[in-house]
Structure 1
Amino acid sequence: MLKIAYHPLYAHPLPEGHRFPMLKYELIPEQLLHEGTILKDSLFAPEPLAEETITTTHEAAYWLQLKNLTLPAKEQRRIGFPLSAQLVEREIRIAQGTIDGARYAQQFGVAFNVAGGTHHAGSNWGEGFCLLNDQAIAANYLLNNNLAKRILIIDLDVHQGNGTAEIFQNEPRVFTFSMHCAQNFPFRKELSDLDIPLEDGTSDDIFLSRLSEALTVIFAKHQPDFIFYLAGVDVLESDKLGKLALTKNACKQRDLMVFEACLKNQVPVQVSMGGGYSADIKVIVDAHCNTFRLAADLYI
């Protein structure tokens, strides 16, 4: 069974100017249910995350500023929208959904969060629409509860996972891998364990070839027992913020490579969906749904 974290707050509390790309959080589960890829009991609504779990990853002073809505205006501008209680609740439910998804993945092989992939949030900052780093929080949860020993984070969003890299810069049990557009946000990059910066306009063959090579090396070198995968679809040529030139089919092949590597090495994987900003919402939703469809074909 596919288990998928979803909560109505994923879409609704965002400011007016940001609501169009967030429609996908409602439309993805609706489409998957409509076509029969998932059943209603595939979806689960995560509870708010416990504060003590947040502060294993984010500095307590930063978390208190979020919680009390006292984050300085300059830091709110770095995030990209004004802080609100609903936005904070949204983030802590997303992070709990990724933790829950990690536990389901250990049971079923794979699990999803309809949202998540908030990889720009560092230990003491928010950035790029990210307040808390869901996969980093979940990775620390697994390590701290002796549920995993060697974790691999595969970040294939078009933007570098700078927050994730910063959080785990001194943690040898977590290998951070980011393959992203070099000349794109964030313009100040952090150092992942493996970064593959791509030129503007990188096409299908080059992207897939470099990914295949990287996955082979990383699995052999790090030998993870758990994987977090950030499956952003802002790598598409149609994406307004992406700068790469992947077709929807190549995006699907990318996901297939990751899932097949996980299956071959018998490693469970939690998937957060990351970015997607094509002008046509149908393109965004279909590209994301392909990731779920593949998982359903391979794991069920």
Structure 2
Amino acid sequence: MLVAYDPIFAHPLPEGHRFPMVKYELIPAQLLREGIISEQQLHIPAPAEESTILLTHTAHYWQQLQHQTLSDKEQRRIGLPQSPALTLREIVISQGTIDCALHAMEHGVALNVAGGTHHAFADRGEGFCLLNDFAIAANYLLHQQLVKKVLIIDLDVHQGNGTAALFEGRPEVYTFSMHGAHNYPFHKEVSDWDVPLPDGMNDVDYLRTLGECLPVLINKVKPDIVFYLSGVDILQTDRYGKLQVTHEGCRKRDEMVFHTLKQHGIPCTVAMGGGYSTQIRDIVNAHCNTFRTAAEIWG
């Protein structure tokens, strides 16, 4: 099991913006401590090539990120102050997801400690997302003719609006987003299949809804690879999530996705997405459950 990680995740942001970004250093540390992964399974990606980024993002926006020329309004939309370190971090995250996809196609599964930057559009960033790593990786695989059909399963509590917009009218990529109906972004884009969830949804209803969707997705799309965004902001402890899913429910969600993909022989690339519980241990434990579950199912 490959785990993409880069130590620059730890310190690219001003102190006031570091929580919950600290999870990116705590997750691999916890996995190593438990013996879920070894040092040999940790992969430090190189930065993605410019040509790869430009398969997804506009040249103008890429130049803005390179030369640090985002306006104050554009930075506010992203929610983070621009910096060369932040841009580098997003470029490395994107290559990490590409590397995970290539590994998953050989070995079944691979996970990015970060990623899931699904609010980034072709020409702008939003919601703590500068570059859309799933879109970049999917477009790379398609451009290299390594796959013909991609399925994105986005189970973050927030709709993958940037991903939906990027692949609108692109039948080779099917976007599925199951998210809080009354959560950010308040203007939703149109995915190939959106499942808006009511506030307060519990484990039973959440898992039943997902269990009804997954077989339909697999049979309809017949993907060559799945990109799975396993956000843990569905937790009842999340400050912004508005759902009532427990840690066990979140773990069973991952188990359901992984079992389905393993059963059908579909490679799976995973990114962690959001998590904003008050206690950092809740965030880290829920994310680590995703790795634990993947290790159990794929061995």
TM-score (norm 2): 0.99
- CA–CA distance in 2 between the matches of 1:79 and 1:11? 19
Q: Measure how far apart 1:20 and its partner are.
A: 1.7
Letter in 1 for 2:76: R
- Residues 67-88 of structure 1: per-residue CA shift (max 9 Å, x gap): 1101111111100011000000
**Residues 15, 81 of structure 1: 8 Å contact kept:** no
Match of 2:185 in 1: 186
* Superposed counterparts of 1:144-163, under 5 Å: 144-163=143-162
More displaced stretch, 3-12 vs 161-170: 3-12
Match of 2:261 in 1: 262
**Residues 231, 255 of structure 1: 8 Å contact kept:** yes
- CA–CA distance in 2 between the matches of 1:243 and 1:250? 15
Q: Measure how far apart 1:164 and its partner are.
A: 0.3
Match of 2:275 in 1: 276
CA RMSD of aligned residues (A): 0.7
Q: Which runs of 5+ in 1 are unaligned?
A: none
- CA–CA distance in 1 between the matches of 2:58 and 2:32? 39
The secondary structure found in structure 2 opposite 1:22 is coil
Letter in 2 for 1:60: A
- CA–CA distance in 2 between the matches of 1:77 and 1:242? 21
Q: Measure how far apart 1:11 and its partner are.
A: 2.5
* Superposed counterparts of 1:1-300, under 5 Å: 2-300=1-299
Letter in 1 for 2:277: S
- CA–CA distance in 2 between the matches of 1:96 and 1:188? 29
- CA–CA distance in 1 between the matches of 2:90 and 2:249? 30
- Residues 156-190 of structure 1: per-residue CA shift (max 9 Å, x gap): 00000000000000110100000000111111110
- Residues 12-39 of structure 1: per-residue CA shift (max 9 Å, x gap): 1122222120111011100110011100
The secondary structure found in structure 2 opposite 1:117 is coil
Q: Measure how far apart 1:132 and its partner are.
A: 0.1
- CA–CA distance in 2 between the matches of 1:68 and 1:131? 14
The secondary structure found in structure 1 opposite 2:243 is coil
- The total of aligned residue pairs comes to 299
**Residues 179, 198 of structure 1: 8 Å contact kept:** yes
The secondary structure found in structure 1 opposite 2:194 is strand
The secondary structure found in structure 2 opposite 1:179 is strand
- CA–CA distance in 1 between the matches of 2:155 and 2:13? 24
Q: Which runs of 5+ in 2 are unaligned?
A: none
- CA–CA distance in 2 between the matches of 1:133 and 1:235? 21
**Residues 202, 244 of structure 1: 8 Å contact kept:** yes
- Residues 74-133 of structure 1: per-residue CA shift (max 9 Å, x gap): 111100011000000000000000000000101110001000000000111100000000
**Residues 10, 94 of structure 1: 8 Å contact kept:** no
Letter in 1 for 2:119: H
Letter in 2 for 1:207: Y
Q: Measure how far apart 1:228 and its partner are.
A: 0.2
The secondary structure found in structure 1 opposite 2:270 is strand
- CA–CA distance in 2 between the matches of 1:278 and 1:97? 25
- CA–CA distance in 2 between the matches of 1:271 and 1:11? 20
More displaced stretch, 112-121 vs 7-16: 7-16
Q: Runs in 1 of length 4+ with deviation above 6 angstroms?
A: none
- CA–CA distance in 2 between the matches of 1:77 and 1:45? 30
Letter in 2 for 1:241: Y
- CA–CA distance in 1 between the matches of 2:14 and 2:123? 23
- CA–CA distance in 1 between the matches of 2:80 and 2:199? 27
- CA–CA distance in 2 between the matches of 1:16 and 1:237? 26
- Residues 192-224 of structure 1: per-residue CA shift (max 9 Å, x gap): 000000111111111111111111111111110
**Residues 76, 83 of structure 1: 8 Å contact kept:** yes
